[in-house]
Amino acid sequence: MTFYYDIANKPMIIGGRYGLGSKELYPGRSSCCVDNLAAAEPKNGFTVGIIDDVTGHSLPTTKTLDTTPKGTTSCKFWGLGSDGTVGANKSAIKIIGDNTDMYAQGYFAYDSKKSGGITISHLRFGHTPIRAPYLINFADYVAVHNTSYVRKYDVTAGLKDGGTFLLNCPWDEKELEKELPGQLRRYLAEHKINFYTLDAVKIAEGIGLGGRINMIMQAAFFKLTGIIPVEDAVKYLKGAIEHSYGKKGQKVLDMNYAAVDQGIGAIKKVEVPAAWAQAKDEELHPKTGNQWVDEILTPMNMQEGDKLPISKLMGQADGTFPSGTAAYEKRGIAIDVPEWQISKCIQCNQCAMVCPHAAIRPILATEDEVAKAPKGFEAKDATGAKGLKFRMAVSPLDCSGCGNCADICPVKALEMKKLETQMPLQEVWDYAVNKVTPKDNPMNKNTVKGSQFEQPLLEFSGACAGCGETPYAKLVTQLFGDRMMIANATGCSSIWGASAPAMPYTKNHKGHGPSWANSLFEDNAEYGLGMFLGVEQSRERLADKIKAVIADGKVSAELKAAMEDWLANMLMAKALVLALKSWKLC
Ligand code: SF4
Ligand code: SF4
């Protein structure tokens, strides 16, 4: 969607769109159509944009042209949904639009996650009207507000020679050498980029703003771009703070004023070593061996979905997506993740129960499995499961850092620690969920503790950190998930439940799990009824066939008994629904 605003008689475009990992709705200005006209044998009837290697009608993208007027400053911001980046950029547009005679344009692209997803803000400022209804292909300024993005996205793509790159990170120059992938370091060196860092997370935590780094990064943006004199920017920013937070009291005002001052003062210039120009590419997205993940999910998650040719998506022509693919995302968006204190834990499983992302789970392992586990797999004797060991496993890369688990723990056996400190335990999690064999539930699964020994068949969803809805949906999958069919209405649950390309509903070791489909608009009751009637029809058709086979008399006594048993019980599910209805329970 794109919304047009006109503030102070200056044309502005403020847009937002929901995409499926696509980077460019409009490919900018490409010369492919002109090149086609000039070709010896131009295509008569063609498409532009998506690579159509099935019909062969699409034109190849040739040279991308920068058609923005001279003097336009183009800025791109890579933010994390809910860190305030988009709001701050809207505020920057307003400050510049209201207080100068410059033209301003903003366009905001989001992925389909709830908060915690990626946001990319495209801002242009200039003294001549901006007529550029497409994303920024050539940027003067790029800011990366989340440290993990340097290994996930091509964040410097299109950053102009001599442009400015600001990275929010805690790294000093030696650590940057290690943490930045080779291709990024090489780009900075080859294109003579002015490189700056700022530890906005540390500043925000010190001030008491938690994860809200927006004001700090916005102040840095004004300082580094010089679009308006920094003293004026500070004055306007503080005015905007008063306008937005004035009713929240002096303490909140002071915290945000401090964010502006410290954002400007804490920027560090990094001298890019000449040797970085020789840095080698690093493998950022190692192959998983799962073809769908490697060829479709990974490019879409890298914001490269528009580059997928149609032939790759032919398998999805019927609209189906494989389940369980959210497990491959490993987003690493948490700032703090829980550390399990084995000596304090009383094995109540409440932490696993409340986790919205199924990122903390009780594991029951044999002595042998513990002995073969990677370093850090500490376990204690399981209460109520003789002969087994108990460990509360945490996935640092799937945790969203909400702290629900630590809050609920009755004995404070979970301590929130910086993500980096817990990363060595990712291997422990991988072993716990992939290599430790699933055990029969030693408890009553209809209890809090017992339910958590069942595998959650909803995991690592695109829900906000601390979501109050997904723990219940997850619990339903633990109780009934291997036989569930879900007719999802459109709303929050359809977004976290199918943040394409990743699917958080998954399967157990027997290959059983929920099937899920989404009906647009609020008609999922009828939609679900249709699914129910469809299943009923299929079942009755099968019953007719079984009756015919039995009547034929050519089956063994054992198979005949099994068939008769199935016929006698085939309506159990329907009978249950009717019973629940008669008791007014559904
Ligand atoms: S911090 Fe939140 S997401 Fe992470 S394990 Fe705890 S409850 Fe789950
Ligand atoms: S809530 Fe605390 S005591 Fe209970 S299982 Fe989790 S870590 Fe252990």
The domain spanning residue 418 has which CATH number? 3.30.70.20
3-class state of residue 569 by DSSP: helix
Inside any domain, residue 420? yes
What's the CA-to-centroid distance between 432 and ligand 2, angstroms? 17
Q: Which two tokens stand for residue 281?
A: 């590419």
Parent domain of 537? 525-582
CB environment 53-82: b (16+ within 10 A), e (fewer) = eeeeebbebeebeeebeeebbbbbbbbbbb
469 lies in the same domain as 535: no
529 lies in the same domain as 470: no
Number of other CB atoms surrounding residue 177 within 10 Å: 14
Q: Which helix (H) or strand (E) holds 76?
A: strand 73-80
Inside any domain, residue 571? yes
Instruction: Please give the Cα distance from 75 to 58 (Å, whole number).
Output: 30
Q: Give me the number of domains the chain comprises.
A: 3
Please identify, by atom number, the ligand 1 atom nearest to the C-alpha of residue 354.
7
136 lies in the same domain as 227: yes
Is the C-beta atom of 360 inside 6 A of ligand 1? Answer: yes
Please identify, by atom number, the ligand 1 atom nearest to the C-alpha of residue 416.
1
Amino acid in position 102: M
Inside any domain, residue 146? yes
Out of 476, 510, 542, a domain closes at: 476
465 lies in the same domain as 576: no
What's the CA-to-centroid distance between 464 and ligand 2, angstroms? 23
435 lies in the same domain as 546: no
Which ligand ends up closest to the CA of 404?
1
| CA angle at 253 for the pair 247 and 255, rounded to the nearest 5° | 140
452 lies in the same domain as 535: no
* pLDDT by 10s per residue, the chain, length 586: 233 333 333 333 333 333 333 333 334 456 788 888 888 999 988 998 889 999 999 998 877 888 888 899 999 999 988 788 999 999 999 999 999 999 999 999 988 787 778 999 999 999 999 988 889 999 999 999 999 899 999 999 999 999 999 999 999 999 999 999 999 999 999 999 999 999 999 999 999 988 789 999 999 999 999 999 999 999 999 999 998 888 899 999 999 999 999 999 999 999 999 999 999 999 999 999 999 999 999 999 999 998 899 999 887 778 888 999 999 999 888 989 999 999 999 999 999 999 999 999 999 999 999 999 999 999 999 999 999 999 999 999 999 999 999 999 999 999 999 999 999 999 999 999 999 999 999 999 999 999 999 999 999 998 999 999 999 999 999 999 998 999 998 889 999 999 888 999 999 999 999 999 988 777 888 999 999 999 999 999 999 999 999 999 999 999 999 999 999 988 776 666 666 666 665 5
CA trace torsion 559, 561, 566, 569 (10° rounding):
-170
Do 430 and 362 touch, CB atoms closer than 8 A?
A: no
Q: Which residues contact 426 (CB under 8 A, 6 or more apart)?
A: 395, 396, 397
Instruction: Please give the Cα distance from 185 to 193 (Å, whole number).
Output: 10
The domain spanning residue 190 has which CATH number? 3.40.920.10
Inside any domain, residue 304? no
Q: Which two tokens stand for residue 2?
A: 């794109």
Instruction: Please give the Cα distance from 475 to 459 (Å, whole number).
Output: 11
Helices and strands per DSSP (H, E), number in the chain: 21, 18
Q: Which two tokens stand for residue 287?
A: 């192959």
Inside any domain, residue 30? no
Which residue, 275, 217, 257, is CA-closest to 85?
A: 217
Inside any domain, residue 8? no
241 lies in the same domain as 345: no
344 lies in the same domain as 401: yes
184 lies in the same domain as 251: yes
Inside any domain, residue 22? no
Do 79 and 121 touch, CB atoms closer than 8 A?
A: yes
Out of 232, 258, 278, a domain closes at: 278
340 lies in the same domain as 272: no
433 lies in the same domain as 535: no
Do 162 and 107 touch, CB atoms closer than 8 A?
A: no
Question: Which residue's CA is minimally distant from atom 6 of ligand 1?
Answer: 405
Is the C-beta atom of 414 inside 6 A of ligand 2? Answer: yes
